[in-house]
A and B are shown apart, each in its own frame.
Chain A
Amino acid sequence: MILVERKPLETVEDVQRALQYAIEIEHSTIPPYLVALYSLGTAKNDAIREILRGIVIQEMGHFALAANMLIALGGTPRFTDPAFVPNYPGGLPFKIGDRDGKALVVHLAPFSIELVRDTFMVIESPEDPLHFQVKPHPALFAALAVDQETYQTIGEFYDALKAKLTDLGDAAFTGKDRPQPTGFPGDVFAIRSLADALRAIDVIVQQGEGTKTTPLAGGGTAVAHYYRFEQIVKGFALVADKSVPEGYSFSGDPIPFDPSGVAAILTDAKTSDYADGSMARRVALQFDTAYAGLLAALETAFAGAPDALTNAIGMMYDLLIFAQKLMATPAGNGKNAAPTFEFPVPVAP
């Protein structure tokens, strides 16, 4: 279960703070998902890659929806504060995933089944995950206990947000006519009313966790992130199955994993891991610089200049190219270099 620290939610300012918090949560999942995705390259593991790619794009969409909600409520999203980017390995913002005093430690690591099971599924977990039979595999995942006093799930966090927004009503949407970028990866729309905001929250929650009764996201046919990841762990697609009481089972197309398709790259790479003057150091700094530039362009785009999105999207592809260059650059001990996601850009010693 994904748990986040409980915060008070009384005023519009509280809601604005909560939305900035939501942006940081949605963003914090992207670097670990991207490193895993990048590490798969393009030669093998097509089905797994498509699952990861689809999830990353939707996370980017959630990020943008949360930012548009903040704009509509009169706030200004900030993406360039030094604390905006988590330090990996480490906890996600607001103690996401922590439970019983134990931190969920998230790594920037190459793809593995364990990474999906022990980290990605924990990040995306609903309060009470639905359980589906694996045919022929046994279930692997068990529900987790919760301390409801100090923690809540992301779903609960968004439920509280919905309640407060409903309470505040349309009048709180003082920024509804401000420019809101929509030409962004994922299902992104402008927030012009309370109804739009409630719909945005449903998209975010259901694409991530599904609903309490179905693994599907938002009434469509797409499976929520938690169950998409679970498909990778089980090795089969989750499909409707009238022969079982749950209505779904992991009995669809196989989702095979070929470990030989994963790049042998460093885990939790830092620019300082690479020798001064080396090609890996040079490219890692370029990667971090492009990442910083991407965040700056996004901040501009969400601060009234949606045209800057073109610049941001261009830099996303630059990140991919730098990541590929890093992953093809030897970094010693038989491993290749890996994307660093260090922000602010480390200053050369």
Chain B
Amino acid sequence: MKSKTTGKELILAGLGCLLGSFLFLFAIQFYTDSQNIIGEQETSGSFSTLNKKVEGGLLENLSTNNKTFTQNEILEIQQMEGVEDIGSFSRNHFPVTVHVWPTGKIGLGAAARADLFFESIPNRFLDQIPEEWAWEENDPIVPIMVPKFYLDLWNFGLAPSRQEYPALSLESASSMPVEIFIGEDRSQRLVGRFVAFSKRINSVLVPPKFLQWANAQFAEERNEKYFFLWEGDEINNQPVSLTELKNLPESTLDGLVVSPLGDPANQIVFKNLSLNESDRQQAARLIIKIKDSYAQNFSEKIDLLGYETNREMPEQDWVQQAINMMVWGVASFGGLLSILSIATFTSSFKLMIAQSSSTSLNLLHLGFSQSQICWIFFQRFSKLFILIWAASLLLCHVAQKFVHKKISVYGFEITQGLSWETYTVASFFAIIYMAVNYWVIYRSLSPLCLSQDN
């Protein structure tokens, strides 16, 4: 059962099979590795922030200020299908201005200055909680967490356009001092530091404990304690304190419209004022963890309720889609090559069987069955295939090591060695490939076995 002329076809088919199985298996390995990396970056489930829509013109919004969620509304959202967890954003009630010192020292070089806001969310919604995140009263440094893309904006937007702002690595950005000025007159000064760069939350976050403390300390009650009274379309120039307003006779309160001292355009019906006061403690933005499979459904339902959602870190989806497309592409190409290699093997077997037809017939006449003769050819194929299969797994292993080396530079870690998924797929691939080829050999022998001698 030897044939020299089929050698070239066998080598060609073998190479096709090697490349095809390698690409196919490496696609599986790459997929499992990338899923592990994404899994580490993002816990299971999707995160969305939720707020009420702001609609209508300026005049309509002047008289209403009810954009916070009531307890009933929060409860309703919590009970929706797919919602795993819900938390509210707290915000600062005082003006904040920050000076960021990219040189690493306050007073040295130019500072980037910005009016800012702070928010806080329960720690369980954070994608990372560094040690420095724990804040206690009198701690000298206020930990701040900003989105990772802020750093990217700095490095690729701001820094190239301003000579005084250097590009920053994660480490150098973490060591920058941040002066925090509180109040319109910036009378209070604290020092903060960026302790983490979130890949999930698009907000400037501080620890909830700090925000609670700071709101208690610095919340500017002045603007909300004194109000302008509206008489028709005009403001009465003399501000009135809340206490004075509350002491007015009940009959005069009906239809009374006021506006805060610091925000004279914000018309509020006085009877709603107390409600608005308590609203200040309620959340205007919610963060929600939704099961992945319900994310789309949830988004549609929320839209019907008249709320707005923002998927946090939607680029995760993008990455996932890109990975899926790449994996499908590589796996399909590998699969196609494998199928083509089967076709090459088929022609090779047919040639081999044709060339050894007298030997095959001799065996047949000695009492060998078609299966037994098929097995003789198949054993030869099996030896070649097992060699190819082992080589493709070895190539996968080498390729994975190469990828690991490349991506470890960016701080990603993947488990060394091939995953069980790859081994499982490789085993199924081997079984199917061998079964198909056994069938091909058997079919190639059929005409010989049926024709008899003549």
Please indicate whether A and B come from the same complex rather than being unrelated chains.
Answer: no
Interface set of A (CB-CB < 8 Å, partner B): none
Interface set of B (CB-CB < 8 Å, partner A): none
